[in-house]
Structure 1
Amino acid sequence: MPRIVHLSDLHFGAHDETIVAAVLQEVDGAKPDLVIISGDFTQRARTEQFVEAGRFLEKLRDAGHEVMAVPGNHDVPLYDVIRRFLSPLARYKRFIDDELCPWHQLPGVSVLGLNTARSLTIKDGRLNAEQIDFVRRHFADVPKGDLKLLVTHHPLFALPVDDGGILGRPLGRQELALDAVNELGIDLLLAGHNHRASTHQARDLVTRAGGALVVQAGTATSIRLREEEQSFNIIEASEGEVTIGLKRWAGARFETAEPTRFRRAEDGWHQARVLSDPAEA
């Protein structure tokens, strides 16, 4: 059963060192097959912030963890206008990964990352037609039965919140992306950006999105909170089943929330019983 740790929004430069150390310890304890980081490694894309983020990645890799990452909007310089438009992700490529749309395969799981950060937008993200073609090419030939994961920094959707409001805006070119997600039978859409953890069924957000699960990670290590504490996800996959567990910061350590299990049916993913004991996951 492959296990994936999903981190997001590290924001080095506006981070908590105690929580960074705790995340590293938790990842070691989880023994994941893959660590996914869905963008915003830095607070302002400065060199010293990327150096800190690079050290964090080095510690993960030195501990034997495979890491896959995509950039976020905070990894594009905001105030350095020349660099923002001429070489927006040069520092990301130098310190994090020179591949902006990485592809990774585990036994039974295929994962594709897409860069949604753009120079022309301050906060919001976009995809383009070439990236959608890239998605189609990669997922068209994966082994039958593989779990298909698409990773972006920006969520494809505006997301509901508990007070009845809506958080964020849909990803630019959302319609193109959702058509591909539906046609290809992509299972999980992993993202961050909003610093709020949640799991939704895509069809409940936009009908044309089909049966995918929309899995949002909170901020793992940033002190820039949005009404909830730091957190990250642990995802376990088996044939036809996914369990999503949340690790939430409780002031001195990460605590484990009740995992949620989903089973795949012909029309997509449906929530199964809530596990009473995390050891059952």
Structure 2
Amino acid sequence: MARIAHLSDIHFGAHDPKIVDAATAWLEDRRPDLVVISGDFTQRARVEQFHQAAVWLGRLRAAGLKILVIPGNHDVPLYDVVRRFAAPLDRYKRYISNDLCPFYEDREVAILGLNTARSLTIKDGRINHDQMDMLRQKFACVPPDKTRILVTHHPLFAMPIGNGNEWSEAVGRHDDAVKAACEAGVHLALAGHFHRTYAEAARKMVAHSGGALVIQAGTATSTRLRNNEPQSFNWLHVRRNNEMELQVIVWDGAAFRRASHVEYRHDGGAWAAREVVDPPTVGKMEPRRGLG
């Protein structure tokens, strides 16, 4: 079993230091096999913010934790227009990682991260055709019983936002990106960006999307909350043959605690979900989902 902590939208520069310390302590105590961070390390891509992020990542690595990271749109300068177009991810590469499309594989999982942050968009993301080819190629040699996981900052699909019927824009080149993910046999699609938790079968979101389960992470440590959803991150237990558990770990004002626990099983065509427990925690929050 692969134990994966999925964090997103750290936003150094608009973070709560107390929550950063609590998240760090949680990770050091649970010691996941891999920590996945799906972008937005900084609030405005400033040097001091990247330095804070680098110190934090250094602490995780010093604790012996393996890390897979990708940038988000906030890691591209917004107001420094020259840097935004001439060297949009130069600081990210210097302080965080020079690898914009990292790959990780162990006995249970194969994980590919793809950079969706672009200079020409303020907040939306895109995937280019070279990245789509990489997606197909990287997963082509992965044994069929391993779980294939794709990590992006921007989700491939339009997401429900707010409490009404408002939906976000899908990632750029959406149709081609979804087709590539389907052809690559992606089982799990992890992303962030919207500071909302969410889990849903891709086929319930868009036609011809294959058998992926879409899992969104909230913001782990930012003070920029959406719709009063507290800071949170995801804790995944992934097994071979496409079985997994998803727990949402939520900040309750004093500590991070489990707020939901759902088991998922893939029958070869679709994911089915079963809630494991009704945890006796304050402020229970489940990932928004429609699986049965």
TM-score normalised by length of structure 2: 0.92
Residues 11 and 40 in structure 2, CA contact (< 8 A), matched pair in contact too: yes
Partner of 1:199: 199
Residues 167 and 194 in structure 1, CA contact (< 8 A), matched pair in contact too: no
CA distance in 2, matches of 1:123, 1:136: 26
Partner of 2:272: 270
- 1:208 Cα deviation after fit: 1.4
Residues 110 and 147 in structure 1, CA contact (< 8 A), matched pair in contact too: yes
SS of 1:166 mapped into structure 2: coil
CA distance in 2, matches of 1:195, 1:258: 17
Partner of 2:216: 216
Partner of 2:56: 56
Residues 237 and 244 in structure 2, CA contact (< 8 A), matched pair in contact too: yes
How many pairs align? 277
Deviates more, 1:21-30 or 1:186-195: 21-30
CA distance in 1, matches of 2:107, 2:96: 25
Q: Say what the alpha-carbon RMSD is for the aligned residues.
A: 1.2
Partner of 2:143: 143
SS of 1:160 mapped into structure 2: coil
CA distance in 2, matches of 1:164, 1:81: 35
Partner of 1:233: 234
Residues 149 and 187 in structure 1, CA contact (< 8 A), matched pair in contact too: yes
1:73 aligns with 2:63: no
Distance 1:230 1:184, change over 3 A: same
- 1:160 Cα deviation after fit: 2.3
CA distance in 1, matches of 2:105, 2:60: 19
Report % sequence identity: 52
Residues 158 and 170 in structure 1, CA contact (< 8 A), matched pair in contact too: yes
1:169 aligns with 2:169: yes
1:250 aligns with 2:252: yes
SS of 1:207 mapped into structure 2: coil
CA distance in 1, matches of 2:183, 2:270: 12
What's the CA shift string for 1:135-193, capped at 9, x where partnerless?
A: 01101111221100000000111112573423421000111111112222210000000
CA distance in 2, matches of 1:29, 1:199: 26
